[in-house]
A and B are shown apart, each in its own frame.
Chain A
Amino acid sequence: MPGLIANLKALSNAIGVSGDEGAVRRIVLAAIRDHVDELRVDTIGNVLAIKRARGRPRLRVMIDAHLDEVGMMIVGANGDGTLQFRAVGGLDPRVLPGKTLVVGPDRLPGLIGLPPVHVSAGDYSVRKITDLAIDIGAASKEEALDAVKIGQLATFDTAYQSLGAAARGKAFDDRAGCATLFEVLRGPRLPVEIAAAFTVQEEVGLRGATVAAHALEPDAAIVIDATPANDLPPVLQADLSPNTRLGHGPAIYVITRRNVSDLRLFKHLIETGERRGIPYQIRQPGGGGTNADGIGPARSGVPTISVSVPARYIHSPAAIIRLSDLRQLVELVRESAARLTPATLARD
């Protein structure tokens, strides 16, 4: 898959916190323009593309990946020139102190500071986000607000790193999904029509996918995302199932946060993996929603399945994935879509 890794790198380096996905959207539009039959940006900012079927389409299959990443919003400035912020999406306050950021549309360098060990007097407790601040080197409130406006967004200043068979970077949740969807669109026509949705605002309430599903009216949907790989000690030693494991293939969901996956599609993906010799794993049930929760209840209902690349440390400055998992995810999504027929969705 030439281009998969280069695309992943460009996508994960791009900055696109929920609600401000423009930079990522531009990459998507340029990458897929020559490979789809219809292309538009909807009112909320989703990129919606149609790749027609080879011959008469058996079905219209929506494939979703979200454009946005978690980040921070500037909500004020302190007298000392530091910036107050709040989380956009789910952020763990334990991973924030000491991290470098890019802040606002001018991409200013920022830092979430913490008093050094010399003066912390043994207090290593976790600080709430409301007790942290972003330092851009400003000396006063006025200077800070001259450079950064309230409401502007910030994210981690992390460059993509190749780790041989693995990769490290920010925003693999869900730029890994976007890179996967690129490959499907850049590949040959399938017997089904592909309705691709690169959606906004997943991390703040699945808003893009909810309206995309309404607009596209698909017969079925596959949601591609990144899911935590909680596969290190103490989980392994404690005889608890890891959520997913790196290097064991794409993770198929039997349930997302609240929705049981469409069981016909769940079986279909497993059968596809078995028949095509594509490794897969079952994601441990419990916790963690995806855009499936927004797409499934659209209009008269959309049978929906989620499948994710396992990723360690997501929603932090840097996540790690195995490239074999990503390649197998591309194959599993493409083959599963290609094998879908109305009979797959027949009932009773």
Chain B
Amino acid sequence: MKELIQKLTTAFGPVGFEDDVRAIIRAELAAFADEVSVNRLGSLIAVKRGAGRDPRQKIMLVAHMDEIGLMVTHIDQRGYARLTPLGTVYPVISAGQRVRFADGRLGVVDVERREDVSKTPSLEQLYIDVGAADKASCPVQVGDVACFNGTVEQIGSRLIAKSLDDRLGCAILIETLRRLKVTPHDVYFVFSVQEETTSAGARTAAYSIEPEVALVVDVTATGDTPKALPMAVELGKGPAIKVQDARMLADPRVRGWLAQRAREAKIPYQLEILRDGTTDAEVIQASRSGVPSGGLLVPARHLHSPSEMIDLSDAEHAVKLLLAVLKKPIVMNEE
């Protein structure tokens, strides 16, 4: 799976500009899906039909293709670009980073002045240097978009890359589809657009699919870094089953179903209570007349940076748990 993660995380795909990622995913899963389509906002939907008789239950699995990015708002007289964020971009992390535009062109983000190191810069103080001599020769234009330019590195079982949020989820979904030989359900693998801003991709896909149940596969924060918010999630202790985040309560029946299958298959898992942030599940849950929704999250450190870090064993366990879930009937017991 590492090779797949490498291919996906190095792709260019800021919010609204997911075409390259979609092309990679489509090529990777085409041989394994019964149907592949692209919805009107650009989300990719691959269907694995179940073995049972109609009507089969529809399970929607979602990972988002987009990543955070920077959009150029202005080129000044000396050829430097000013920017606005796509999604939640941290200025303190952006300063000093290399970024890449859709055509592969590189730029360096820096802050106007660094005289007071104790102060966090604002996004208004940042600019992108693309090496231009002046405005006339600047190769980028207002409206152009860049993402972090990160390489993929491995330290033991840890993997470091940009946009593991949520290309890792995409890789897990692809891997699950490849290994899923037989399922009683119709499984919809949704690779959504625009999660980092509005979740419009997942919202509209849920509307058209009308699933019985939905699971988001994404990354989550951890409580195992210095002075982190208290959170009982650590790298390497297994994927985390969503209990609650800042915008939703996971359906307790979905949470119980995932935990039961994990225990049966002896797959380690953790429980996620995330105080900041949410996932596509928030809008799927409220689609049409309501969709019982939950999530399976891979713990990740240094989120929304060019050096997001995960433990490969957590990703592998996430695939195994999804396979265990998909091969058997849905269990929706009240806890």
Give A contacts to B, CB under 8 Å: 239-241, 254-255, 258-263, 282, 284-287, 293, 296-303, 345, 347-348
Contacts and interface: CB of A to CB of B under 8 A. Distances in A.
Given A255-B71, A259-B194, A285-B72, A301 B143 contact: no
Most chain A CB inside 10 Å of its own CB: which residue of B23, B77, B197: B197
Contacts of B38: 347-348
B17 A260 contact: yes
B86 interface: yes
- Interface residues of chain A: helix, strand, loop or mixed (majority): loop
B231 interface: no
Contacts of B313: none
A262 B193 CA distance: 12
B197 A259 contact: yes
15 contacts: A239-B76, A241-B73, A241-B74, A258-B197, A259-B198, A262-B41, A285-B143, A300-B39, A300-B204, A300-B205, A300-B207, A300-B208, A301-B39, A301-B200, A348-B22
A150 to B, nearest CB: 33
B198 A258 contact: yes
Contact of A299 (B73, B143, B207): B207
Nearest to A240: B74
A300 B71 contact: no
A296 B41 contact: yes
B211 to A, nearest CB: 14
Interface string B226-266: 00000000000000000000000000000000000000000
- Interface residues of chain B: helix, strand, loop or mixed (majority): mixed
Contacts of A299: 204, 207-208
B79 to A, nearest CB: 11
B162 interface: no
A144 B107 CA distance: 62
Nearest to B200: A297
A239 B74 CA distance: 9
Nearest to A261: B16
Interface string B194-210: 10011011011101100
A249 to B, nearest CB: 15
A261 B72 CA distance: 15
A241 B22 CA distance: 33
Given A241-B142, A303-B40, A348-B23, A260 B15 contact: yes
Nearest to B198: A258
B190 to A, nearest CB: 12
A284 B73 contact: yes
B84 A286 contact: yes
Contacts of A255: 16, 71, 84, 86, 143
A303 B72 CA distance: 22
Contacts of B58: none
B81 to A, nearest CB: 11
A241 B141 CA distance: 12
B17 to A, nearest CB: 7
B100 interface: no
Contacts of B77: 239
Interface string B83-126: 01010000000000000000000000000000000000000000
B223 interface: no
Interface string B6-38: 000000000111010011001000000000001
B198 A297 contact: yes
Listed from nearest, the 8 A-B pairs whose CB atoms lie closest are A260-B16, A301-B204, A286-B84, A241-B74, A301-B41, A254-B143, A301-B40, A300-B208
B42 interface: yes
B215 to A, nearest CB: 20
Given A260-B15, A261-B16, A282-B143, 14 more contacts: A241-B75, A254-B142, A258-B197, A263-B16, A282-B142, A285-B72, A285-B73, A286-B71, A293-B198, A296-B41, A297-B204, A345-B40, A348-B22, A348-B38
